[in-house]
Amino acid sequence: MATVAFLGLGVMGYPMAGHLAKAGHTVTVYNRTAAKAQKWVNDNGGASGRTPAEAAKGCDFVMACVGNDDDLRSVCIGETGAFAGMAPGSVFVDHTTVSAAVTREMYSAADSHQISFVDAPVSGGQAGAENGVLSVMCGADQGAYDRAKPIMDAYARTCKRLGASGSGQLTKMVNQICIAGLVQGLSEGLHFAEKAGLDGKAVVEVIAGGAAGSWQMQNRYETMLDDHFDHGFAVDWMRKDLGICLSTADENGASLPVTALVDQFYKDVQKLGGGRWDTSSLVKRLRALDG
């Protein structure tokens, strides 16, 4: 068993840290809102730190799941950042979806402290975090990945190294690009069924086992038909992720016309007041167009 710090106790980090405790690791947590950290300790045992550096002190591994590039920098560097509290030879694992550029920046900063850095964004949403069945996409030196994987296995169904630093974040971009088009297609299909007077649930029962089937269809079609959108990853976060995808595409020359269009559709959802709705709320935008 290892000594582990977990930084960031949002809808993903809170249960992920819990799985580490259940696996028998000694866990110290940090959250910007101290009350959230104390609640986690009350629920799971362990301890909390007042700063990332304090939480990370003496730990073999430090995991983070925060909001964006700036949040990651704030928990990593500076006098109160985790790197200041970590011992040489320890491993930092970042589960945040951020740009590949900031990942490489943090990799270099960690290396200057003789710390290994693994970028390890996740897919599977809140349900995947709660059930411990996330897909983890990693970029790292092989040795660092080999050390960190047994720790990540506490909440991962799939965990794979894709290459050097930044490769995990680039793979997460592929994941979000694919999801954007899938959700829009599913939204249009369900909307069309409604307009055609069909029973949407019956339609999905017929087509879900064929070529049109997907995880999104299996897990989101009922809530989409019922106009409920509080079951997963928020639109605000998806737009952050798609912004990273589009910016990176500008740098590497990839053409992402569907992704760019769906990003604008999510902007429309935000204008409807749906920034905290889950990503399947694209269908609500289509209904709104009907007036």
Please give the positions annotated as active site: 172
How far apart are the two ends of the chain, measured CA to CA in Å? 57
What distances in angstroms separate CA 243 from CA 10, 29, 35, 111, 185, one per listed residue? 21, 29, 32, 28, 20
Q: Which amino acid is at 107?
A: Y
Q: What are the C-alpha distances in Å from 111 to residues 74, 92, 103, 107?
A: 17, 11, 12, 6
The DSSP code for 232 is S
Between CA 240 and CA 175 the distance in angstroms is 14
CB contact at 8 A, 274 and 268: no
